[in-house]
Amino acid sequence: MIEAAIFDMDGLLVDSEPIWQEVAIEIFETVGVNLTIEMCQEGTGLGTADFVKLFYERFPWEGKSQEQVGQEIIERGHERIATETLPMPGAHDTVRFFHERGIPLAVASASPMEIIETVLRRLDLVQYFTLWHSAVLETRSKPHPDVYWSTIEKLKVKGPHCVAFEDSGNGLRSAHAAGMLTVAVPAPYEYDQPKFDIADIKIPTLTHFNEDIFNNLVQKLPL
């Protein structure tokens, strides 16, 4: 049986990616770096520190440290997420699907803990989750598996008997490296990219998740 369902958050449970992109573009403008939405999409699934590092290495700037730029992105993003975000299609139904079957749920996100909590409360999902964990608390963020390893350990379950839901290539690599079953839910602009081929299941939105897909995942569990 599936022992736990672990969800990414940004772009999967909550439609926050456009907000993070807007905020990143605004903050990077203050150091003279002109990001585009397409450039922001390159860093989807990375933690804020790794996202900032990615573009600092490409466009070194002066006047603000990478840490300061990252903190400004987090603070402004948190303000907007707390008041503007909406759930992704199918998020509530998929969460309730596992909850109704008595399967523990967790969030493993690259966002800071306070933002995870803000989102779960805003979407009225917090009561369904056993725990949530942030890659900010790990030495390495996604695409490394650390945040999933810690989440599995906290849940006291075995990785190969868990399913992870991810919308980004970096997140999928993280869950896959942790040895979990994976469901990829890519954004339309990258749905057909080969980086999602490592997923056990790929669906366009969480609205496509159903009993048949669940049973397919169960059949993939190790003996």
pLDDT single digits (tens) 15-59: 988 999 999 999 999 999 999 999 999 988 888 999 999 999 999
Reply yes or no on whether 124 is catalytic: no
Per-residue model confidence (pLDDT) at position 69: 97
SS3 of 14, please? strand
Share of the chain above pLDDT 70, in %: 100
The one catalytic residue in 10, 50, 146, 167 is 10
Per-residue model confidence (pLDDT) at position 46: 86
| Mean pLDDT of all residues in 100-119 | 95
Per-residue model confidence (pLDDT) at position 44: 87
**pLDDT 10s digits, 138-170:** 999 999 999 999 999 999 999 999 999 999 999
As to burial, measured by CB atoms within 10 angstroms (0-12 exposed, 13-18 middle, 19+ buried), residue 153 is exposed
pTM: 0.87
Residue 127 CB partners (closer than 8 Å, separation 6+): none
d(Cα 14, Cα 7) in Å, to the nearest integer?
A: 11
The beta-carbon contacts of 176-180 under 8 Å, at least 24 apart in sequence, are 177/143, 177/144, 177/145, 177/148, 178/145, 178/148, 178/149, 178/152, 179/145, 180/6, 180/148, 180/152
Per-residue model confidence (pLDDT) at position 45: 81
DSSP 87: B
| Mean pLDDT of all residues in 123-129 | 96
Reply yes or no on whether 10 is catalytic: yes
* Domains, in order of start, for the chain: 4-15+87-219 (3.40.50.1000), 17-84 (1.10.150.240)
Share of the chain above pLDDT 90, in %: 93
**Strand bridging mode 131-134 / 4-7:** unpaired
